[in-house]
Amino acid sequence: MKIGLLIYGSLDTISGGYLYDRMLVDHLQAGGDEVEVLSLPWEGYGRALLHNFSRPLCQRLATADFDLLLQDELNHPSLFWLNRRLKRQVRYPLISIVHHLRQSEEHSPALRWLYRWVERRFLQSVGAFIFNSQTTRQEVARLVGKTSDVSKTSDVWWPHIVAYPGGDRFQSAMTEAEITARAHEPGPLRVLFVGNLIPRKGLHMLTEALCQLPAADWRLDVVGSTAVNPTYTRRIIHNLKPGITLYGPLSDVALADLMRHSQVLAVPSQYEGFGIVYLEGMGFGLPAIGTTGGAAAEIISDGVNGYVVNVADTAVLAHHLRHLHQNRDALAAMSLSARQRFQAHPTWAQSMAGVQTFLHEQVKG
């Protein structure tokens, strides 16, 4: 089967969504499918809307000999109107990979109205969906507004699959004894943040929470691109405190080593469509701290293998970090539970195999 995949920029872009797309492409190709990646340029939202009126783009897609075309939902501004014309010219199905919706993030009322309007029309223009979480599926159902109860997985009007990301990108190979011993190591609590430096990821909230604790009680390592939002990065650097180390992006080997030596993973995002990094950290026995914004609660059981706090509630976040520092038996128990949660989760190969089967069914149908 020949599959097209439409994305912005490079498939090697560092983010959870692009990792998901890369893993899917690798699995499809390993399973005998041919995948052609079509890249649109990264541009501002307004300029991306103009892609809908690009004759070369429409012609390129209309004449492609695909069996189906995958479209990353990130590309919705470029496709919300073009897809309607395209469906009149092609026989292959249009299927969207939805990681999370832009309208779910914090925006001004005017921008959020625009994003909702455009995203709704994009979602209505495709024929099937690949969701990374039940939360994402429910957000799409709410936006499109054609289910009587979005909590019911059986009451969905479109062909779809919920295929969770895997967390087994790294080989952690840590034993329960090693995880327990690490939790009881003396000294400050070693906290890890992994995510691009953008406001949505909540690094400023994490640093604000940590600063409510004595400086001797914690150390924070920050891993992620500093180039995505230079203004925000400058804000973080300007307010940098002793005990915080900015690494920038790291190789998988270096990041795995840092996870192996950390004690807690904290990424208090304003919104996460899934949060692959929580699961990856759990592979190293790291309790995860996320928020109620998005799908973190699908991974983190509050008080068992981590904590789920209200968005921007730095006081509660600080309380949990203080508790884990002062009570190393609780940290050890939570670390072992995190490892167990990781072990119970589907691997990348298992999730992507389900997607591949689903895609073949859409073509046969």
Tokens for 193, please give them. 């943040």
**pLDDT at residue number 290:** 98
Is residue 364 very low, low, confident or very high in pLDDT (cuts 50, 70, 90)? confident
Is residue 151 very low, low, confident or very high in pLDDT (cuts 50, 70, 90)? very low
Is residue 331 very low, low, confident or very high in pLDDT (cuts 50, 70, 90)? very high
Q: Which letter does DSSP use for residue 294 in this model? A: B
Return the axis-axis angle of helices 109-123 and 134-144, rounded to nearest 10°. 100
Same domain, 224 and 237: yes
Same domain, 294 and 307: yes
Same domain, 145 and 110: yes
CATH number of residue 306's parent domain: 3.40.50.2000
**pLDDT at residue number 158:** 85
**Which of the residue ranges 197-201, 237-241, 278-282 would you say has the lowest mean pLDDT?**
237-241
Task: Look at residue 359 and tell me if it is in a domain.
Answer: yes
Is residue 157 very low, low, confident or very high in pLDDT (cuts 50, 70, 90)? low
**pLDDT at residue number 156:** 52
Alpha carbon of residue 331 to chain centroid: 25
Residue 342 reports pLDDT greater than 60:
yes
Same domain, 106 and 94: yes
Same domain, 180 and 104: no
Domains in the chain: how many in total? 2
Range of the structural domain that residue 60 is part of: 2-166+347-364
Same domain, 161 and 54: yes
Same domain, 42 and 104: yes
Same domain, 204 and 111: no
Q: What is the mean pLDDT of residues 20-30?
A: 97
Q: How many CA atoms lie within 13 A of 87 on its CB side?
A: 13
Same domain, 11 and 158: yes
Task: Look at residue 290 and tell me if it is in a domain.
Answer: yes
For residue 335, the one-letter residue type is S
Task: Look at residue 321 and tell me if it is in a domain.
Answer: yes
Residue 306 reports pLDDT greater than 60:
yes
Task: Look at residue 171 and tell me if it is in a domain.
Answer: no
Same domain, 134 and 239: no
**pLDDT at residue number 145:** 76
Q: Which residues pair with 37 in a beta bridge?
A: 5
Q: Please state, in angstroms and rounded to a whole number, the distance separating the CA atoms of residues 360 and 344.
A: 27
Same domain, 152 and 219: no
Q: Please state, in angstroms and rounded to a whole number, the distance separating the CA atoms of residues 256 and 330.
A: 24
Is residue 135 very low, low, confident or very high in pLDDT (cuts 50, 70, 90)? very high
- Sequence-distant (6+) residues with CB within 8 A of 96 are 70, 71, 72, 73, 122, 123, 126, 128, 129, 130
Q: Please state, in angstroms and rounded to a whole number, the distance separating the CA atoms of residues 69 and 89.
A: 13
Q: What is the mean pLDDT of residues 64-87?
A: 97
pLDDT in tens, 171-197: 877 999 999 999 999 999 999 999 999
Same domain, 157 and 199: no
Residue 222 reports pLDDT greater than 90:
yes
